[in-house]
Structure 1
Amino acid sequence: MPLHSAGLLVFDDSGAEVRVFLAHMGGPLWARKDSGAWSIPKGLHDPDEEPEDAARREFEEEVGVMAPAGVLTDLGEVRQRSGKVVRAFAVKGDPGLAFVASNAFTMEWPPRSGRLAEFPEIDGAQWFTLAEARGKLVAGQVAFLDALATRLTDPTG
């Protein structure tokens, strides 16, 4: 059975261009990467947890602030290369939203050293236009940008 993740694609459409709030993945494997190293704030959830609740919880854990309180719009699911199924929800956010701090994870680093080190799951987050976000997001999540653009131009789509 694949792992399931849920996350929020926070957007702001109050300016000339729609912008989305993305998180840069933390840890040494992503430290020097930019293109393809960003994600929607998301995380794993148990089968008995509602994906919407998990998305809001994970946002708070990874960004360090409460998730925007607005209505969530389901953007669907994608299966990432790892096999994990990610479900995203769009929510309008305040353009002043900013990254504060992330929870941490532990891994052996350097590899095969026998030493454990702790790293933040997310090491930063910021706003991007939809065009900029296409070059930043991991490839498996770009479909969420398309789904958001469709919902914003045709709310019934």
Structure 2
Amino acid sequence: MGGPFWRRRPRAWTIPKGEPVAGEDTLTTALREFTEEIGTAPPDGVPHLLGDFRQASGKVVTVHTLHAPDFSVDVVRSNTVALELPRGSGRFVEVPEVDDARWTPVDSARGLVVAGQVAALDALAART
């Protein structure tokens, strides 16, 4: 995740995710969020619903997967979000929603992602 709050925190990585807009299904949301957060369209392929996973905050994240062995991204160009820094100051700064991204083996990713998404990685590993 991007911004100063997450800069030095362990386990601050996450899958691209976001809230559906009105009338949008979870797959359409996932594809849109991938494009916004990575800066390129998702690869072609057949998406599969991996499942719903509850975060520590109580938020439920619906995860879709897509096998694309030849897909790569050279540069991440995330959208930005406005953050009030410091909180309550009335001063807003624009920060990238994602400040880094990379393809990582599942075993390595388990130690990087927020705790609530480890179950999604386990479900992915069980499918392959």
When the two structures are superposed, what TM-score results if normalisation uses the length of structure 2? 0.91
8 Å CA contact retained: 2:79, 2:96: yes
Query: Distance in 2 between the 1:112 and 1:47 partners?
Result: 30
Query: Distance in 2 between the 1:58 and 1:96 partners?
Result: 17
8 Å CA contact retained: 1:98, 1:125: no
2:15 corresponds in structure 1 to 40
Name the one with the larger strand percent. 1
Q: How do 1:102-121 and structure 2 match up within 5 A?
A: 102-121=78-97
- How much identity, in percent, do the aligned residues show? 49
- Indicate which of 35, 38, 43 corresponds to 1:60: 35
8 Å CA contact retained: 2:43, 2:71: no
When the two structures are superposed, what TM-score results if normalisation uses the length of structure 1? 0.75
User: What stretches of structure 1 move > 3 A for 4+ residues in a row?
Assistant: none
8 Å CA contact retained: 1:42, 1:59: yes
CA shift for structure 1 position 61: 0.3
- Indicate which of 54, 58, 63 corresponds to 1:88: 63
Inter-CA distance 140–67: structure 2 relative to 1 (3 Å threshold): same
Query: Distance in 2 between the 1:98 and 1:145 partners?
Result: 23
Give unpaired runs (5+ residues) of structure 2: none
Amino acid at match of 1:67: P
RMSD of the TM alignment (CA)?
1.4
Aligned positions, number:
127
CA shift for structure 1 position 128: 1.1
Query: Distance in 1 between the 2:74 and 2:67 partners?
Result: 14
Q: How do 1:1-157 and structure 2 match up within 5 A?
A: 25-33=1-9, 35-46=10-21, 48-93=23-68, 94-152=70-128
Amino acid at match of 2:39: G
* 1:43 match: secondary structure: coil
* 2:124 match: secondary structure: helix
8 Å CA contact retained: 2:39, 2:77: yes
8 Å CA contact retained: 1:109, 1:115: yes
CA shift for structure 1 position 74: 1.0
* 2:66 match: secondary structure: strand
